[in-house]
Amino acid sequence: MRVIEHLDRAGETLFSYEIIPPERGGSIDDIIRMVEQLAPLSPPFIDVTSHAAEATYEERDDGTIRRRVRKKRPGTISICGIIQNRWGIDTVPHLLCAGFTREETEDALIELNYLGIQNVLAIRGDTPNHLRRPDPYKTRNRTAVDLVCQLADLRQGRYLDDLENSSPLDMCVGVGGYPEKHFEAPNFKADIQHLKAKVDAGADYVVTQMFFDNAVFFEFERRCREVGITVPIIPGLKLLNHRRQLRTLPRHFHVTLPEALADEVAASPEHAGEIGQRWALTQVSELLAHGVPCVHFYVMNDATRVVQLIEDLG
């Protein structure tokens, strides 16, 4: 089922989750254990992140440097297929512009369609740390708007090549939104307009970057509605687990941690997990009262505290 159908049919706020593939060489068992934790919560859908290839450099015994380009976390499509067909939980694989050609994107969508997967999250992704030699016979999506346009074409059965009797790939398309503004946007107004362009191109819903202050989300939602964005907007939350995340979350995700939360964790770092869970519980309770269609949890690779939070909510 499509995400938008889950949202339309729900009589109350839904809870969805996002996980990441294991590192290259890792075991699928960790993913299976996480999904087994989440499955009793009856999630309508689970997102699985995608990662472009990256360059690593290794010094050989003779002093020369070996450059290798490979994916650190492969397996997004396979993991989505396992979850959807083993547990019957709809999945949302992430599709990236960065590091992938339009031809590779089309191939991925055909594979997803064969697996019965009807949802994707279209995002630009981080710029790869290596230069990939351009193929003159292949094209690229530069922005998420370009990617959504390609998906909109495939909904109409318009492939990159002119194919006779081609079947449409009718995917539900989600896009990302940034309650605190994307760090590359010159200002908040420009960022909201860019989000509107993604929606106007064919996106069905928005899921936000993590935030720790609901007032930030409510203002973001208000400004989105003000410019005519009418699709569902799903707030994304992350449970703070460790003191080190006071540094890593702002650095990697360009988010702000409220003073009250940061001060409490800094004062009692051994209780960071409990503090983060309690903070998130307050956030979720307020979001439920606000009537959001869904709350999306960035589980990443540890579902334990999120499961406990949902159980605490009853």
Would you state the pLDDT for residue 126?
66
| 102 three-state secondary structure | helix
Structure tokens at 230: 């009418």
Positions in the chain short of pLDDT 50? 55-56, 129
CA gap 281, 261 in Å, rounded: 13
CATH code of the domain containing 48: 3.20.20.220
Number of domains into which the chain is organized: 1
Residue 132, classified by CB atoms within 10 Å of its CB into exposed (0-12), middle (13-18) or buried (19+), is middle
Would you state the pLDDT for residue 163?
86
Residue 146 φ/ψ region, left for φ over 0, alpha for ψ in the -120 to 50 degree band, beta for the rest: alpha
Would you state the pLDDT for residue 297?
98
**pTM for the whole structure:** 0.91
CA gap 196, 228 in Å, rounded: 8
- 272-276 long-range CB contacts below 8 Å, 24 or more apart? 272/240, 272/241, 272/242, 272/243, 272/245, 273/239, 273/240, 273/241, 273/242, 273/305, 275/240, 276/239, 276/240, 276/241, 276/305
Would you state the pLDDT for residue 72?
66
CA gap 167, 187 in Å, rounded: 41
Q: Which residues pair with 95 in a beta bridge?
A: 122
Strand pairing report for 65-71 and 119-123: unpaired
The domain of 247 spans: 3-313
Q: Which residues pair with 22 in a beta bridge?
A: none
Would you state the pLDDT for residue 240?
96
